Structure 1
Amino acid sequence: MKEKYKKNRKALLFLILSVCLISGLVSIRNQYISYPIADGFLNLSKENLEEKAVQLNGVWKFYEGTLDGTGSQTADSLEVPGSWRGKVINGKKLGKHGIGVYELRVKVPSPGDYCMKLNYVSSAYQLYINDKKIVENGTIGADKATEIPSWNPQFVYFHADQNDLVIKIKVSNFHCNNGGIVLPVYIGKQVPLFRFHLFNLMKNIGFIGILAGMACYLYVFNWCLNKKAQSICLWIFCISVLVVASIIDGESLVSIFPFLTIDTVLKAEYVSFMVQITSIQFFLWSMYPELGKTHPFRFLKMLDLIYTAILICLPAMPVLYDDIVFIPILFVNALCYFLKIAKAFKLKKANAGPVFLGYCVYIVSCVLQIVDIQHNIDVKFLNDFNFYYFGVLFFLLSQGYVLAVNVEDTFRQSELAHEMEIASLQAQISPHFLFNILHNIYCLMDTNVNMAKNMLMCLSDFLRVKYRFDYRTYTLYQLKEELDLVNAYVELENVRMNGALKLEIDAPDELLSNDILPLTIQPLVENSIKHGYKSGELNILIRVMAAGDRLVISVEDDGRGISPETLETIDKSNIPKSSTSKNGVGISNINYRLNICFQSRLFIESLGLKGTKISFEIPKRG
């Protein structure tokens, strides 16, 4: 069991690492070419654009503060992709809101049909090629009142009459906190660019599909475990990440629901981020409740709930989504959670290691993703690496691993408790039987010493048979041993009853090796003698029969039987109960052990003055 337990944990760890690495390393780099653009010019005259798309990353010319034209403005440069917020253009530090024109000259191999792909340009833009308007996304304006924002991704086709292209993107931003061309722009022929677009879309959908699958798994997991707090918190986290992922990739949510306004999308994005934070918070508190009772954590919980409620209830005001407000909330939460998990790890709390590792990877990945969006990380093996996807999956799978380990530990503990309970029940019935025999011997000591001596000898033989089995080590033994025990017991009773008992056992030899719970048949025989004997002889028949994959065992006597009223009372008390049942250690004990071990129970048939038959079924294992 221990080795199997370790192998299961290793398998889970291997699965976590594999899925996370695949999610991050599945690269779209081999689907496009990237050239360093300098001073707003890119020469593609010798490039075969029939095979791959071209990523237009690099330094574009930028004309700040204008939308109508660029002739009267002094051009500066701006990195694409990236926000213009905080950048210095012509000695002026730009804010988050404003207008401007991006310009890039491209020399293509030949005139013909080309495509461009633009994902996310905030908040509205117009695309011109050689001073011809190709597409408009939203409505650009000089202020918030005249601008109509839109985040719809664009896949546009155009015809180039000459080799030299002048690409101008007029941008206005009065609705978002980061203005400009935030995600990469691509150009190329229709087939390779569409193939690249499809590959990228499939990658995003694949990640969202993994999240949806994990959400379903966690929901079922939570339902099966009767609403465990940890699994429902991870399920909520998973759903909120799914919403965020469908927004930040620039294609999924807005493509599926083009009618969504920017205000709605912004609200959904930031609320989803706060739901992620809150679900992590409650997950940690459910894991380590004793570490979350301090006042700072309670204050943080209230702060998060108030801010989330404000985001949901109030209109989409820019101040609510500003980095000055949002980033400090994220930082305080991240720091507090880190300190809490670190404390749990230091105190060697259960599963604190995987929780701590998963959380650290998640936080670092989120930070790297923000840096990548702002500054475009271009490092070997990390270009196009989706840090956020990697971090989220690593966190979810590592916490899922913790849940699985908890379930496995709980299962092992329940198995141990089950075995201990069975042993306790079997140990419980032994003193009950032994007390009856010793009481009989005690009573005979004054009236019939020889009979008392014979009973002691029979008791010695009986105990020799009985204690070949140790209930502290094993739960089951063979049917043959139980029947030997019954034989020894009847001989013991016959000494006291002057041979009035006639025992017959009908059990085929091939069935005697089947497993049975100790002291299952013997107490039934004891009941037949104790409650069924009238006078003269008492015949007892024990029959063992095979019925498919089950064994049917019955104990039948021709004693005084049971009245209908008494039988009804016994039937009501014959429902399997715990070992603390007030019905004693006889019938209820056997019935309970049969139920928890074999999902079986005793069936009693009796007619007054015509005998009693008690039967039960167990699995056929021999």
Structure 2
Amino acid sequence: MPSLKNSKTPAGARTSAPLLLGYGAACLVAWLLFVLAGTEFQRGLWQLWEAVYQATLTLWAPMLLGLAVLPLAHWFARHEPALPVLLFVHLLAALLFSITWLGLDYGAALLLFGAEHADATLEQSFLWRAIWGLLVYAVLATGFVAALNARRAKLLAVTAAQAESALARAELAVISGKLNPHFLFNTLNSIIALTRKDARAAEAALLRFSGMLRYVLATKREATDRVTLQEELDFLRDYLALEALRLGQRLKIEWELDERTLEDEIPPLTLQPLVENSIVHGIAPRMDGGCITISAQRDALTDGLNLCVRDDGEGCDPAQLDAASARPGIGLGALRRRFALDYEGRARLRVHTAPGAGFRVDLWIPQS
């Protein structure tokens, strides 16, 4: 767990400058308030200078001593001592603060006005100055420790956010970099069989296959990148062409594409897992195959991108549908997770199905 004391830059070096600036500003405000409280403007300018003199004489010592409280606050923030030790050190430091304040005041009075005045001032102000010393120390120590703890909490929050972001990127990379191994093996077997029948067709299939692998490897490099819908569709057409080697006329495809959406951006490998699930669960098990419809339309209300993948397969009971596992593979669960990580929950995925009514997945992807 990151902490102020074990980072490469010393905690004091990293946090003292802002704290000292804030402390200086607080001292200035306190001094100005003291001056205003002691000024009677109707009595002339000399009264203002008298207030400035009194404020400076009264506050210079505790303001100077406040700088000595900061290193102690750093020690408390780093070590977090047990309560008895904490109270003892605070009490000792508060007494030392008060005694030092008295000593500085006495020294200033001795230097400016002589021993007799200094002794008289010490005798008159000893009790209340000692009490004020304890109170001022308590305020300073509380403020410094609170500021350091807040800074450490912020540092930990940033570190945790960075770790979560790294985890999200890793998960996205896993999701975006997957192709079903069964598809890979089936495709290679289909191409091998095709080489015996039609060398030209086998060569074209290999070119499509290499293009698909190139696309997948590119998405692995940076999973949070976007691709245009046109690029995803080109990849999808290669995928379907290779599946057609195995399924032949049993696989029918219908496209309903609004040309205005072709330059819209989506995460790579968004449509292929849905189409793959339709093939595996809706088309391949049927002797007469089936049809998959892929559509892309502009959302008139939000200007987002509406995508839809539907098949005319057997479908399933929606009451038993678990979007994360109803259709095994990369599919719906991974796509939901990707949208949650990549779009902060703004993208939407809806499933519509019923026994004998096929399976349909609607996606809405924001474009701004």
TM-score range for the pair, normalised by the shorter chain length = 0.5 to 0.7
* Residue in structure 1 matching 2:330, options 577, 585, 589: 585
Tell me the distance in 2 between the aligned counterparts of 1:21 and 1:369. 21
Identity of aligned residues (%): 19
Q: What corresponds to 2:122 in structure 1?
A: none
Give 2:237's aligned residue.
487
Distance (Å, rounded) in 2 between the aligned partners of 1:474 and 1:573: 21
Matched, 1:410 2:160: yes
Contact 2:187 2:243 in 1 (8 A): no
In structure 2, the CA distance between the partners of 1:19 and 1:495, relative to structure 1 (3 Å rule), is same
Q: Which amino acid aligns with 1:593?
A: R
> 1:470 aligns to what SS in structure 2?
helix
Show the counterpart of 1:552. 306
In structure 2, relative to structure 1, the CA distance for the partners of 1:586 and 1:474 (3 Å cut) is closer
The 3 A distance-change label for structure 1 pair 612 and 587 is same
Aligned partner of 1:592: which letter? Answer: R
Partner of 1:604 in structure 2?
A: 351
Q: Which residues in structure 2 correspond to 1:467-482 (within 5 Å)? A: 467-468=214-215, 469-475=218-224, 476-482=226-232
Alpha-carbon distance between aligned partners in 1 of 2:150 and 2:83, rounded to the nearest angstrom: 27
Indicate the SS of the match to 1:400.
helix
Say whether the 8 Å CA contact 2:191–2:202 is kept in structure 1: no
Correspondence list, 1:347-496, <5 A: 367-373=96-102, 375-376=104-105, 388=137, 392-427=142-177, 429-430=178-179, 432=180, 434-442=181-189, 445=192, 449-450=196-197, 454=201, 457-468=204-215, 469-475=218-224, 476-496=226-246
- Structure 1 CA distance, aligned partners of 2:95 and 2:212? 69
Tell me the distance in 2 between the aligned counterparts of 1:444 and 1:472.
Answer: 28
Structure 1: which amino acid aligns with 2:290?
L
Cα distance change of structure 1 residues 18 and 505 upon mapping to structure 2, 3 Å threshold: farther
Q: What is the aligned counterpart of 1:571 among 310, 322, 325?
A: 322
Q: CA shift at 1:12, angstroms?
A: 8.4
Q: Are 1:603 and 1:614, in contact at CA under 8 Å, matched by a contact in 2?
A: yes
- Superposed counterparts of 1:95-494, under 5 Å: 284=78, 301=82, 303-304=84-85, 329-330=88-89, 367-373=96-102, 375-376=104-105, 388=137, 392-427=142-177, 429-430=178-179, 432=180, 434-442=181-189, 445=192, 449-450=196-197, 454=201, 457-468=204-215, 469-475=218-224, 476-494=226-244
The answer to whether the 8 A contact 1:441-1:455 is kept is: no
CA RMSD of aligned residues (A): 4.6
Q: Tell me, yes or no, if the aligned pair for 1:556 and 1:612 is still in contact at 8 Å.
A: yes
Structure in which a larger fraction of residues adopt strand = 1
Structure 1 spans left out of the alignment, 5+ residues: 1-9, 34-46, 58-183, 185-199, 201-276, 287-296, 309-328, 335-362, 576-581
- Paired with 1:572 and 1:524, the residues of 2 have a C-alpha distance of 12
Distance 1:11 1:569 in 2: 56
Structure number with larger C-alpha Rg? 1
The alpha carbon displacement at 1:555 in A equals 0.4
Please state how far the C-alpha of 1:487 moved relative to its aligned partner.
0.8
Distance 1:420 1:465 in 2: 22
1:562 to 315, 330, 333: 315
2: CA distance, partners of 1:403 / 1:377: 41
C-alpha distance in 1 between matches for 2:281 and 2:355: 12
Query: Residue 124 of structure 1 aligns with which residue?
Result: none
Tell me what 2:366 maps to. 619
Task: Indicate the SS of the match to 1:471.
Answer: helix
Choose from 12, 20, 23 the match for 1:20.
23
- CA contact 2:172–2:223 (8 Å) conserved in 1: no
Structure-2 change in CA distance of 1:376 and 1:539 (3 Å): same
- Secondary structure at 1:510 match in 2: helix
Distance 1:478 1:14 in 2: 48
* Deviations 1:333-375 (CA, angstroms, capped at 9, x unpaired): 98xxxxxxxxxxxxxxxxxxxxxxxxxxxx6x98445411455
User: What TM-score, normalized by structure 2, do the two folds share?
Assistant: 0.64
Structure 2 residue aligned with 1:509, among 229, 249, 259? 259
TM-score, normalised with respect to structure 1 = 0.41
- Unaligned 5+ segments in structure 2 are 1-12, 60-71, 110-128
> 1:461, CA displacement in angstroms?
1.6
Give how far 1:491 is off.
1.1
Cα separation, partners in 2 of 1:514 and 1:417, compared to 1, 3 Å = same
CA contact (8 A) 1:465 1:484 kept: no
* Residue identity opposite 1:570 in structure 2: L
More helix by share: 2
Which structure has the higher relative contact order (CA within 8 Å, separation 6+)? 2
